[in-house]
């Protein structure tokens, strides 16, 4: 396992430190990102995807059941040289924002790809959400660019949406969903590009990324693009059943339309 070293060129981080309490018995012995969907850990599916598009280095933070994450990193790294993975251990979990802040010294670029460890994207084989994020991120006026999904394409999701999209352009300013049932409500997939500079003046060490979303929104620098595909929201045992059923029942259709995990 590699130690964090500033000289390495890293611009990607997967957040794997969460407790996963809503998963109950599913996370009794393992960290939530190691839960399997289609017989493969979520974390492995996402790392395979990152490797396939040329991501060469990746930070993985860990806290709850950290030994299971660190074992995964060792085993994966034994079989694969890319991406090179770095463990960022949090003795006391720092929440999502604090976890990223702790790892800031290793990021060598202003724009960072940050991924929730329990999020899966069912995407078209000819469409790459990560490349789309990087292509559309403009640090001149964006602090954060989120990848959103329509509610009707968010499998395993039971809420009313997270954000309202303000326009129909490829990149749109967004704002927090208000207490309404607008059909324009979109769900945050957990995939995003963040400008390092938005962490300036954040003096806390333990905080949620929501703090940064609110800050960016107040500065009119919170933007989003829309996922071309399905967002698989792995949140509860019930959501796993729903996701597996969706993938199995629609297997032929998804294959014909060239959807891949």
The reported pLDDT for the residue numbered 7 is: 43
CA–CA separation, 221 and 162 (whole Å)? 17
The reported pLDDT for the residue numbered 87 is: 95
Which of 198, 178, 176 is closest to 188 using CA atoms?
A: 176
The reported pLDDT for the residue numbered 178 is: 67
Q: Are 258 and 124 in contact (CB under 8 A)?
A: yes
Strand partners, 16: 62
Q: What domains can be seen in the chain, in order of their start residue?
A: 12-260 (3.90.550.10)
The reported pLDDT for the residue numbered 183 is: 53
User: With pLDDT > 90 as the criterion, what percentage of the chain qualifies?
Assistant: 84
pTM recorded for the entire structure = 0.94
What integer best gives the mean pLDDT of the chain? 92
The reported pLDDT for the residue numbered 6 is: 44
The reported pLDDT for the residue numbered 3 is: 44
H/E segment holding residue 57:
strand 57-62
Below-50 pLDDT ranges, the chain: 1-8
Buried b (16+ CB within 10 A) or exposed e, 183-219: eebbbbbbbbbbbbebbeeeeeeebebebbbebbbee
């Amino acid at each position: 396992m590699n130690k964090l070293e500033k000289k390495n060129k890293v611009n990607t981080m997967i957040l794997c430190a969460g407790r996963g309490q809503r998963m109950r018995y599913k996370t009794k012995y393992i960290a939530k990102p190691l839960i399997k969907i289609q017989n493969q850990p979520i974390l492995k599916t996402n790392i395979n995807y990152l490797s396939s598009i040329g991501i060469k280095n990746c930070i993985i933070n860990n806290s709850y059941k950290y030994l299971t994450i660190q074992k995964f990193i060792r085993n994966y790294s034994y079989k694969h040289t890319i991406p090179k993975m770095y463990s960022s251990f949090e003795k006391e979990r720092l929440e999502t924002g604090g976890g990223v802040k702790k790892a800031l010294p290793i990021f060598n670029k202003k724009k960072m790809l940050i991924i929730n460890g329990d999020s899966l994207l069912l995407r078209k084989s000819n469409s790459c959400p990560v490349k789309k994020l990087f292509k559309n991120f403009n640090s001149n006026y964006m602090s954060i660019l989120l990848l959103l999904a329509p509610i009707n394409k968010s499998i395993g999701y039971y809420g009313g949406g997270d954000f309202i999209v303000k326009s129909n352009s490829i990149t749109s300013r967004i704002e927090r969903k208000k207490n309404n049932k607008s059909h324009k409500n979109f769900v945050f997939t957990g995939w995003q590009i963040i400008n390092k500079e938005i962490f300036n003046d954040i003096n806390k060490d333990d905080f949620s990324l929501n703090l940064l979303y609110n800050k960016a929104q107040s500065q009119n620098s919170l933007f989003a693009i829309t996922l071309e595909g399905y967002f698989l929201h792995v949140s509860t045992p019930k959501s796993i059943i729903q996701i597996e059923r969706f993938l199995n029942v629609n297997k032929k259709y998804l294959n014909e339309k060239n959807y891949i995990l």
